[in-house]
Chain A
């Protein structure tokens, strides 16, 4: 009897542990979805939280590399926080691993088509039954950070916008169009998006009465949040930036 009990308890514990590991390890549900952007049919990587909705939604916008595994992982991390995350694919299937190729893809990208893609992604999320259409945000890194701000300019109903080392609008008329609160993370050593540009954007946003929270990380350059950027990855700054992102979305998108 005692032996039997022991087997049951141990067995039960093992089963429980295995289930726990399974739940802990099981990634949020992801799928490739299709929708229209102008006349084109585009694809995106959608990740849903485990619980039933409605949830806030987040448009996730890739770096100049394209929709690679790292960006998909960010979408999964956001879904694990309770958001429906839609990682869009501005390059229509192309992904670069070499900086030269990435640069070529970036400079071949028609900006007007990208703007259409962003609005289409917003509309797609807003129409999904699991999404609360009044609580949709956006996040982007590098090139995608610039586009995250473009979405804020073009979609007044966007509720939160995160830019990580992306280019910022300078035209007061464009800044006036931004309604979403903005969170930004930048590297002090970024040659393209300089601290001066960040300060100018902050000043212009504040002068226009907009909500803006920008942080510049010393000792960090462009793309410091991405571990694949082996020379430029700054784990501590990256962890801090992620905490800021989680807190910002919780404040702006959660009920």
Chain B
């Protein structure tokens, strides 16, 4: 009980700090363009107010696309001192409802999405204000899968946080992951089983990769997203945010 209260207090402090920094100096945001294969794609970039080289976070949206909530996550990270780039795998499309979210995620070509996250990583490494050895990725749902794909294909990725996502099972793929991994899952979601999560953890730990997974009881998928009126669980969401924030500050040398 005491622990819960302490956690709640801590959450308030973090939120207060976050809110304060947002009020004090809202991070600069802009739409940036870069090449992904033969295409030019756009991303939503949020920058910290302070000058200098920063750690960076690549943000991969969930099934609904690059929504206002995802943009808000980029701003929250920027307020904490990260260069935050939210990719747009859907190329401008944002789902207005669940059905559209399903259609968009079903229509997403795997190979293009992987190209896009790799291109975003390359874009970040080339920026003057980014310390290229301190780049992490975070993703929800479909975006979690592609954040992990980036970890598989890009050994320089230092940290990878995922929520509510499928987990890779291929042993060669798992062996390619160098990034430290954080996972947040709702206990009541239907697709990802505890045994899948365990197998994933075991495979990474066997290779000396740190992996920290938390399963939230009373939560299903999408519990971190306030726009999802059905699944949003404010307390679990606050806890997941604190975990992600501490995970990145530990692994990206903040």
CA A116 – CA B221 in complex, angstroms? Answer: 26
Using CB atoms, name the residue of chain A closest to B95.
A191
Task: In the complex, identify which listed stretch (A128-136, A154-162, A168-176) lies at the interface while the others stay far away.
Answer: A168-176
CA A152 – CA B242 in complex, angstroms? Answer: 44
Q: Is A2 an interface residue (CB 8 A)?
A: no
- Residues from chain B with a CB closer than 8 A to the CB of A110 are 166-169, 196
B102 with A170: CB separation less than 8 A = no
A222 with B103: CB separation less than 8 A = yes
B107 with A64: CB separation less than 8 A = no
Q: A94-B191, A108-B192 are in contact. Are A100 and B111 (CB under 8 A)?
A: no
Q: Is A105 an interface residue (CB 8 A)?
A: yes
Q: Is A107 an interface residue (CB 8 A)?
A: yes
Q: Is A138 an interface residue (CB 8 A)?
A: no
Query: Contact residue range for chain B?
Result: 35 or more
Q: Is A10 an interface residue (CB 8 A)?
A: no
B190 with A193: CB separation less than 8 A = no
A104 with B221: CB separation less than 8 A = yes
- Give residues of chain A (158-192) contacting chain B, Cβ–Cβ below 8 Å: 166-171, 174, 190-192
Q: A104-B221, A108-B190 are in contact. Are A168 and B106 (CB under 8 A)?
A: no
CA A107 – CA B110 in complex, angstroms? Answer: 12
As a 0/1 sequence over residues 88 to 103 of chain A, the CB contacts with chain B under 8 angstroms (1 = contact) are: 0001001010011111
Q: Is B99 an interface residue (CB 8 A)?
A: yes
From B63, B98, B107, B167, residue with most partner A Cβ within 10 Å? B107
Q: A99-B99, A107-B145, A108-B190 are in contact. Are A143 and B168 (CB under 8 A)?
A: no
CA A4 – CA B128 in complex, angstroms? Answer: 102
CA A103 – CA B104 in complex, angstroms? Answer: 11
Interface residue ranges, A against B (CB under 8 Å)? 38, 64, 91, 94, 96, 99-113, 116, 142-143, 146, 166-171, 174, 190-194, 197, 222
17 pairs across A/B with beta carbons < 8 Å?
Answer: A38-B169, A64-B102, A64-B106, A99-B98, A101-B190, A103-B63, A103-B98, A104-B221, A107-B164, A112-B168, A112-B170, A112-B173, A166-B106, A169-B109, A170-B111, A190-B103, A191-B93
